[in-house]
Chains A and B, each alone.
Chain A
């Protein structure tokens, strides 16, 4: 058994000739927190799509804990232990935060178990604990549609954790958040990193600096370079394709 939780081997995804991912190789250790950055169109979201089964690789393969993910459907991959948070928060608006979490927390997700099953005591406690962690206890029983954008982001991260996945894929968790909220989400992710493997995709460089240990830079569907934040920042190629511009904007 390798202690690699995720291995991507020579994956190419081509949409009618356009290669969103091009011979991508990537691997990640169990328990790692990895940040993936890259300019628009670098293939970051397609990368997550391949892992979660939304898109099938044209060539190459993706292994999760040594198991090939090809031709597994999304819900199967999710049940293996991969949770995904989407770019824009996707929570069930007509349900309350408590119900949202309960659905994710449900251990038996087939039809009959859902029909006959009642939320068990431990599950209810997990949900109550999560509501506290994401700071939504007071709003636990109002429809999620009434939550603010930041609260929805936190709720969706909560839903992800409720699934108790081994690998969390988090796509732009702080888009549209205030600085304070951003820091909260950062701390939340760092806490989660103690017990989960996490991949974070992010544009916000401040935020990346806050949480990053290991950074991977994607460019034109392939890995441009990998290393610590400082190494990546001083890499001339990276500065050329990506970091140069945001730095100037900041100044």
Chain B
């Protein structure tokens, strides 16, 4: 893709946006309307989970791909969203009763922080606000003290462990490592694991992914998006231009956490369980791998990477259950060494040119497009040749 001359820009932009909207609308419609009829229920459930995970990947892309902060702790926010919804489902029991596991561990009264989860509207708001608030507080403390780079990554990972033990520790509060199972619970009077409910979750996942995409697209375009890229490239320079990066980073981290929370909630009801294992280190790293494979700094790449890696994971795990982790590690190595910008990055930059070279039709190289396309320059070039 080349940049067109400056004068064409105002025209080219809306047309490009129109194309993008069209393509996305078609894909969304195919996934939402056509696939439920085509795919067997069992496969559709898998796809629904991947779509939910892709929402989290968009969040990672926002904070890592655009703002340059590698978070290795998004499992926290994913789990917080998941636990919020699971707690609500666990409370779909006759008035005054306690969830099963609490009875088993001899809890007499529902803990105070479980109380508000009786309410569905509260749960709906909580499942993205709680992760966003946690991220905002954590982010504010970290960013205000100008902790960056690898130190930020280490801090997020350390927080991950804190939350892991918080949810794993007191077994009577969150059922410890067993986690909360939601498949036997009711949601609006329907069994959460029934095909009917699962189809609704599938459609909701697609809707959420679409909304998340639109949100991220809006955030990353325009001045705000350019500010994020500038922060990624040279944060200190931003300060001397009069920007305070802290606020920008806190907002982006919070939005990114909210997306992970939504993803966590949708993933939980589709798998039927949320447990502290989502806060183990490998899962948070896996989220980063999805974005790396798809191409960081491109929103489509994050979605594509998640779905491709997850499909590969499912197919491979079915065939060779014990080899997935090796494969995942290998995939990461390949991406880092061969495709540093991921699939989308390759496709955007050198991909088409390499393909043309392979086909024996290399592209005409231009140093400065707006100069090279200048009619006078073109005229001169042709006359010089003759």
Contact = CB atoms under 8 A, between A and B. Distances in A.
B244 A141 contact: no
A138 B251 CA distance: 36
B139 to A, nearest CB: 13
A111 B370 contact: no
Nearest to B5: A141
Contacts, number: 91
Interface stretch (A31-39, A112-120, A189-197, A228-236): A112-120
Contacts of A52: 240
Interface in A129-173: 137-142, 146, 159, 163
Contacts of B244: 73, 75, 109-110
B229 A75 contact: no
B223 A93 contact: no
How many chain A residues sit at the interface, stated as a range, is 35 or more
A119 B223 contact: yes
Interface stretch (A8-16, A57-65, A96-104, A216-224): A96-104
A92 interface: yes
B243 to A, nearest CB: 5
A84 B240 contact: yes
Contacts of B243: 75, 103, 109
Nearest to A110: B247
B254 to A, nearest CB: 11
A237 interface: no
A92 B223 contact: no
B365 interface: no
B230 interface: yes
Contacts of A95: 226, 229-230, 233
A75 B245 CA distance: 9
Contact of B3 (A90, A115, A142): A142
Contacts of A91: 237
Contact of A74 (B239, B251, B371): B239
A141 B222 CA distance: 15
B224 interface: yes
A106 interface: yes
A118 B226 CA distance: 12
Nearest to B4: A141
Contacts of B240: 52, 74-75, 78, 83-84, 86
Interface in B196-241: 219, 222-224, 226-227, 229-230, 232-234, 236-241
Q: Specify which of B3, B242, B371 lies most central, judged by the most chain A CB atoms within 10 Å of its CB.
A: B242
A109 B237 CA distance: 14
Contact of B224 (A79, A114, A137): A114
A95 B227 CA distance: 10
A94 interface: yes
A85 B10 CA distance: 31
A84 B3 CA distance: 31
Given A92-B234, A94-B233, A110-B247, A138 B371 contact: yes
Nearest to B222: A118
B9 A93 contact: no
A77 to B, nearest CB: 8
Nearest to B241: A104
Contacts of B226: 92, 95, 99, 102-103
A174 B248 CA distance: 33
Q: Specify which of B9, B223, B232 lies most central, judged by the most chain A CB atoms within 10 Å of its CB.
A: B223
Contacts of A146: 368
A106 B242 CA distance: 10
Contact of B237 (A92, A102, A140): A92
Contact of A78 (B3, B224, B233, B242): B242
B223 A142 contact: no
Given A75-B239, A104-B241, A163-B241, A140 B224 contact: no
Contacts of A84: 240
B6 interface: yes
B214 to A, nearest CB: 15
B146 to A, nearest CB: 10
B222 A86 contact: no
Given A92-B233, A94-B233, A141 B9 contact: yes
B350 to A, nearest CB: 15
Given A78-B242, A138-B368, A141-B3, A106 B223 contact: yes
A73 B239 contact: yes
8 contacts: A52-B240, A75-B242, A79-B242, A86-B237, A92-B230, A92-B234, A142-B369, A159-B241
Given A115-B223, A138-B370, 18 more contacts: A52-B240, A73-B244, A74-B240, A75-B238, A75-B243, A91-B237, A92-B230, A92-B237, A102-B223, A103-B241, A109-B241, A114-B223, A114-B248, A115-B219, A139-B368, A141-B3, A142-B3, A142-B370
User: 4 shortest A-B CB distances, which residue pairs?
Assistant: A74-B239, A78-B242, A111-B247, A92-B230
